[in-house]
Amino acid sequence: MRLRGFEMVRLLLAALSVAFVSSASAADLRRPLPVKAPAPIAVATYGWTGCYVGAGGGYGMWNHEATILENGLVEAVTPTYGGRGWFGTVQVGCDYQVAPTFVIGAFADYDFGSIKGDFAFQDLVGQQKLKSSWAAGGRIGWLPLAQSQLMVFVSGGYTQARFDAVNYIGSGGVYLEKHAYSGWFIGSGYEYAIGWLPGLTWKTEYRFADYGTENVPLLFAGAPTALSLDSQKYIHTVRSELVWRFNFGGPVVARY
């Protein structure tokens, strides 16, 4: 009788053990199997450090304000005159990417074209033409997109513009001689990396230039007269260029 009781206890323990193992196995089957995490996706970024050359063109407008002087004294104030026209441009420069989203750089460019308009002096009427200009300055760029293919920037610096002489019609030889105006400029624009050709970018920029006041004498047959102009020029330009960057070879950093 004692032996039979022991056998019953053993059988009960064996049944409980089988039930526990079965329950644990079922729980393991219900538990999701571990899955290996997918590899992080690399996002290409672009380096803007390096030098470049560019060429393109644009449209420009100049306005002219002047005061007529006679023997150094104010005689009259002229109306505002201006010119309009197209121009070509070439540029060189270098940039340095100081942070993941910021770029600083320096550049110089030369514009050539024929931006012209009428310019009157008292009862005399002639035509004045902006023949060429050059600028040197710096810019600060910001990269707003994750892939950094787009840079927006502000620019500023020193500039000089050369205007041709004004020959007044029917004056018998009265003219304003050609003159170079010096001043400053400020601008803003963007530059975008063209993906299908490494190193090639497209840049568009607006600039405003103020050339201060210059005194320009009125000449007659090559000799100065008693009259002169305190002349001030303002120039607005919009320019677009294709730019080739020496080091711009596509993705250079993998970001995750």
What pLDDT digit, counting tens, does each position of 197-226 carry?
888 999 999 999 999 888 888 898 888 888
Mean per-residue pLDDT for 151-178? 91
Confidence of residue 8 (pLDDT cuts 50, 70, 90): low
**pTM (predicted TM-score):** 0.76
Between 125 and 189, the higher pLDDT residue: 189
Using alpha carbons, select from 178, 238, 179 the residue that is nearest to residue 213.
179
Mean per-residue pLDDT for 169-192? 91
The β-bridge relationship of strands 73-77 and 81-99 is unpaired
What pLDDT digit, counting tens, does each position of 57-111 carry?
999 999 988 888 888 887 777 778 889 999 999 999 999 999 889 999 999 999 9
Q: Mean pLDDT, the chain, as a whole number?
A: 82
Confidence of residue 248 (pLDDT cuts 50, 70, 90): low
Q: Is the pLDDT reported for residue 26 higher than 60?
A: no
Using alpha carbons, select from 100, 105, 96 the residue that is nearest to residue 48.
96
Q: Is the pLDDT reported for residue 171 higher than 80?
A: no
Whole-number Å distance between alpha carbons of 182 and 134: 10
* Contact assessment for residue 105 and residue 154, using Cβ atoms and an 8 Å cutoff: no
Quick one: pLDDT at residue 46?
A: 72
Quick one: pLDDT at residue 255?
A: 44
Sign of the four-CA dihedral 102, 53, 185, 205: negative
Confidence of residue 6 (pLDDT cuts 50, 70, 90): low
